[in-house]
Chains A and B, each alone.
Chain A
Amino acid sequence: MKLSKQEFLSRSGLGEETLNAWIEEEWLIPHRSSVEMSFSDIDIARARLIRDLKMDFGVNDAGVGVVLNLLDQLHGLRRTLMELRHAGRIISE
């Protein structure tokens, strides 16, 4: 689902200034067309994770970047493991 910036702000509960700062840090990467930016469900979930990291865990800004980077590498690995399991199933059939 595609969300406009306004919809994203109201669904995520973020302030506009915070959102701009997070985009600046590349913690969030909205989809950009020539006229406007749009967001999807994964951005909402990612914003919630960033908020948890900052508010609940007291992770500072430098730490958030590190955590996100490592998590994305972890998800890349998990995705590839799943692909391999799938490929393995095809080979063994």
Chain B
Amino acid sequence: MKDPYEILGVARTASAEELQKAYRKLAKKLHPDLNPGNAEAEEKFKEIAGAYDLVGDAEKRKRFDRGEIDAAGTERPRQSYYKDYASTDQDHPYADNSGFADFMESEDAFAELLRRSARAQANRRGQDLEFRLPIEFIESIAGANKRLTLPDGRTLDVTIPPGIVEGQVLRLRGKGAPGSGAGGFGDALIEVEIRPDRSFTREGDDIYLELPVSLSEAVLGGRIKVPTPTGAVTMTVPRNSNTGTILRLRGKGAPRHAGGHGDQFVKLKVVLPKAPNPELEAFVSSWESGKAYNPRDEVA
């Protein structure tokens, strides 16, 4: 890091007034807003502003002179200047094209280019507007039609395609902000946010569901109704199906990009009756082989 006195071009013994004068003289030449096209000036300005932040402050200057602090890290962080906004965007109240209005009035090719450019600026397409749309998990798999109310009171009808994933962005052409002149409307970009479901989860194109079954369904097997995001279907539970048994419903998952569907996997969970059941208790206490089986034998 260079010496701040050297950067400002003053002696170490300079008075506060001399320092300020030196800083102002350099800043007038190098201020980024007075040199909008000059990246070098901006770099230099950062340096002198940092130097002045250090030795322009009486307290900091004393500590620097005593060697308690050094000049490292004093460079002023990049801030945004007026030029960063004024040159790039013409949609602000300070835009002023009078500096070359006379050029546009002549008849040569350059004037024609200028006029064309002014027309292009006048016919600029509207901005894209971004929105977030929360939907239910089931809607993300099955698809849905949603209506979004915008901050300005307009409503947008959004068709959610089946199988949409979290964070996917839907583009509605021409539903953004109005443009200027013949520029047309921008687009509405709608980012989908999927609310988690109490029962279903999704991994890739497959859907997972934990499904409670009764003791008799688990022991004897049978046909049961299983919810899927696109409606209930019937599934066969094989005899002696334990908690943790996973059954597959082919093609009942999310739609695949390439066509077809993923699968739904159903994990069974055996659930006893809520209230104690005397009949069941009587049976189990007389069920000798059931007592002999210890499932924890398999646990090391």
A4 at the interface (CB under 8 A from B): no
Q: Which of A32-79 contact B (CB under 8 A)?
A: 40-42, 45-46, 48-49, 52, 56-58, 67-69, 71-79
- In angstroms, Cα B34 to Cα A85, docked, is 23
**Nearest CB in chain B: distance from A44 CB, A:** 8
- CB-defined contacts of A14 to chain B, threshold 8 Å: none
Q: Does A84 lie at the interface of the complex (its beta carbon under 8 Å from any beta carbon of B)? A: yes
* In the complex, chain B residues whose CB is within 8 Å of the CB of A48: 79, 81-82
- Chain B residue at minimal CB-CB distance from A47: B82
Distance (Å) between the CB of B229 and the closest chain A CB?
Answer: 39
Least CB distance from B16 to A in Å reads: 15
Alpha-carbon distance between A5 and B97 when the two chains are bound, in angstroms: 28
- For B24, give its contact among A49, A58, A75, A78 (CB under 8 Å): A58
Q: Is B36 an interface residue (CB 8 A)?
A: yes
* A-B CB contacts (within 8 Å), total count: 96
* Bound CA span A45–B83, Å: 8
B28-A75 in contact (CB<8A): no
Report the Cα distance A17→B81, complex, angstroms: 24
0 or 1 for each of B86-130: is its CB under 8 Å from A? (1 = yes):
111110111111111000000000000110111011000000000
CA distance A68 to B96 in the complex (A): 11
Given the complex, which residues of A lie within 8 Å of B116, measured CB to CB?
Answer: 87
Of the candidates A40, A72, A78, the one having the most CB atoms from chain B within 10 angstroms of its own CB is: A72
As a 0/1 sequence over residues 39 to 80 of chain B, the CB contacts with chain A under 8 angstroms (1 = contact) are 000000000000000000000000000000000000000011
Q: Chain A: which residue is nearest B86 at the CB level?
A: A75
CB <8 Å contact, A56 and B27:
yes
Give Cα A79–Cα B36 distance, bound, in whole angstroms.
11
| Residue B263 lies at the interface, judged by CB distance under 8 Å to chain A | no
What are 16 residue pairs bridging A and B, where the CB atoms are less than 8 Å apart in the complex?
Answer: A40-B92, A45-B80, A46-B94, A56-B27, A57-B31, A71-B82, A71-B86, A75-B36, A75-B83, A75-B87, A75-B95, A79-B88, A80-B114, A80-B118, A80-B121, A87-B117
What residues of chain A have their CB less than 8 Å away from a CB belonging to chain B?
A: 29, 31, 40-42, 45-46, 48-49, 52, 56-58, 67-69, 71-80, 82-84, 87
- Given A57-B31, A72-B95, A79-B87, list of 7 further CB < 8 A pairs? A40-B92, A41-B85, A42-B94, A52-B33, A56-B23, A57-B28, A75-B83
